[in-house]
Amino acid sequence: MKKTILTLLLCIIGVTAGATQQINDKVTVNGEEWEITTSPLDYLQPQAMDAFKALLGERDFMNTANQRGYVAYWYVERGRLYLDRVEVAQKNGGHKALDSKELKKVFRKYRSFGKIKARWITGNLRVGYGIGERSISAPYLPAFEKEEFWVLRKGKIAARATK
């Protein structure tokens, strides 16, 4: 009897255990805050990515919900994606904000009139808005009220498709 109960408990725990949902980047679109589930900074060229990681500095702790160690904040203006700031997680639970002035060393060739245009991105982004119903089979994945896929060409949103 004890073996049966223990086996049943282990099965239940195994089904409900899963990966921790990651904290997504944020993007402001027409005054609404959406989340980006694919990291736009992953599209950086290796040299720029190395410079970005050097700017972030050494991480002396790990947060399972934010394994990258930062959250990037973006905005859309006239159909283009711009990087606003990056908040780096700190050991004390706080955040250190890197604004466009601090980021300009890494993103110098993408700056225009003091703004950082995400021209390094040619690819797809998955974005979501609001809180939706979580999937039982994948509770670690984000669930959104509205979800879109954006196709970007050199930082310009060329197409938007609703899921």
Q: Structurally, how many domains does the chain consist of?
A: 1
Domain span including residue 52: 22-123
- Residue 138 in domain: no
- Residue 103 in domain: yes
Mean pLDDT across the stretch 21-50?
Answer: 88
Distance CA 149, CA 160 (A): 6
- Residue 145 in domain: no
Tell which residue, 40, 61, 55, 59, has the closest CA to residue 116: 40
- Residue 100 in domain: yes
What whole-number percentage of the chain has pLDDT above 70?
73
CB 70 within 8 A of CB 87: yes
pLDDT band, very low/low/confident/very high, at 151 (cuts 50, 70, 90): very high
Token representation of residue 44: 């950086």
CB 163 within 8 A of CB 148: yes
The pTM assigned to this predicted structure is 0.77
pLDDT band, very low/low/confident/very high, at 14 (cuts 50, 70, 90): very low
Mean pLDDT is lowest, of 58-62, 133-137, 150-154, for 133-137
- Residue 150 in domain: no
pLDDT at 90: 74
pLDDT at 18: 53
Cα four-point dihedral sign 42, 159, 99, 45:
positive
CB 157 within 8 A of CB 150: yes
pLDDT at 33: 93
What whole-number percentage of the chain has pLDDT above 90?
31
- Residue 69 in domain: yes
- Residue 64 in domain: yes
Distance CA 51, CA 74 (A): 19
Mean pLDDT across the stretch 87-116?
Answer: 83
CB 48 within 8 A of CB 60: no
- Residue 130 in domain: no
CA angle 83, 88, 91 (to 5 degrees): 175
